């Protein structure tokens, strides 16, 4: 049954009940107007919910990728820590490292965690790469325990930019890696 047949049957029913023709026409017109309600009014809440779910899902996926990348970087740094090589510079301070590694495009002197790093004595340093970015690999000794540790400093550019605003400790099988951002630089201490 199409809309015209349905309208005719409704009109006949109301007229048989002795409603005035104007009232019957008004009722039928209201029905036609309701049929014209835009379909999107029904689907707008569903679409809005779908958009929220998509944004949340993309955000979670990106955070997961950043977290996975974070652990990859921590693992790479720990691996290099465990494979000590010869250091180009033998020195006892961050200022000496900066002076000796003159081609570094960033400062190795920490600003944020000075108190933490004051517990370590600089022994040596060398140039290295971290995720394609220039980095400084410093060998440091814990003043209290005498344990040799590694401090990496790199500019937060390229892929490392994904680690901005990260301040975490990664507990790996053989090492602990503390990673933090300091003035647009990545610091990583392996102990």
pLDDT tens, position by position, 51-92: 777 776 666 555 545 566 656 676 677 666 656 667 888 888
- Which residue is listed with tokens 């500019």? 155
What percent of the chain shows pLDDT beyond 70? 66
Q: What is the mean pLDDT of residues 172-177?
A: 73
Residue closest to 81 by CA, chosen among 36, 126, 113: 126
* 191 vs 67, higher pLDDT: 191
Tally Cβ neighbours within 10 Å of residue 56. Answer: 10
Cα(6)–Cα(72) distance, integer angstroms: 68
pLDDT tens-place string over residues 104-125: 888 888 877 777 778 888 998 8
Cβ neighbours, 10 Å, residue 92: 11
Mean pLDDT of 124-136: 86
CB 120 within 8 A of CB 151: yes
Query: What pLDDT, on the 0 to 100 scale, is given for residue 42?
Result: 65
Phi, psi of 24, rounded to the nearest 5 degrees: -65, -45
Q: What pTM was estimated for this model as a whole?
A: 0.60
Domain ranges of the chain: 3-37, 58-190
Which residues, at least 6 apart from 167, have a Cβ–Cβ distance to it below 8 Å? 179, 180, 181
| Residue 112 tokens, joined | 């944020």
Supply φ then ψ for residue 115, to 5 degrees.
-65, -45
Q: Tell whether the model's pLDDT for residue 15 goes beyond 70.
A: no
Q: Could you tell me the pLDDT band of residue 145, with boundaries at 50, 70 and 90?
A: very high
The rounded distance, in Å, linking the Cα atoms of 32 and 9 is 15
Of 6 and 145, which is predicted with more confidence?
145
Residues 6+ apart with CB under 8 A from 186: 130, 152, 153, 154, 155, 156, 160, 163, 179, 180
């Amino acid at each position: 049954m199409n809309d015209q047949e349905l309208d005719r049957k409704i009109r006949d029913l109301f007229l048989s009940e002795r409603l005035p023709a104007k009232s019957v026409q008004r009722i039928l017109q209201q029905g036609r107007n309701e049929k014209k309600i835009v379909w999107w009014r029904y689907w707008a809440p569903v679409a809005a919910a779908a958009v929220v779910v998509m944004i949340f899902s993309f955000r979670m996926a990106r955070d997961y990728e950043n977290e996975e990348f974070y652990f990859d970087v921590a693992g790479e740094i720990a691996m290099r820590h465990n494979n000590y090589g010869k250091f180009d510079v033998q020195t006892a301070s961050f200022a000496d490292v900066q002076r000796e590694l003159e081609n570094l495009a960033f400062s190795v002197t920490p600003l944020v965690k000075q108190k933490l790093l004051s517990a370590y004595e600089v022994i040596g340093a060398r140039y290295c790469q971290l995720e394609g970015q220039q980095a400084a690999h410093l060998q440091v000794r814990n003043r209290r325990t005498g344990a040799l540790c590694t401090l990496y400093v790199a500019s937060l550019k390229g892929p490392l930019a994904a680690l901005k605003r990260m301040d975490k400790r990664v507990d790996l099988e053989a090492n602990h890696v503390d990673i933090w951002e300091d003035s647009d630089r990545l610091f990583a201490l392996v102990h």
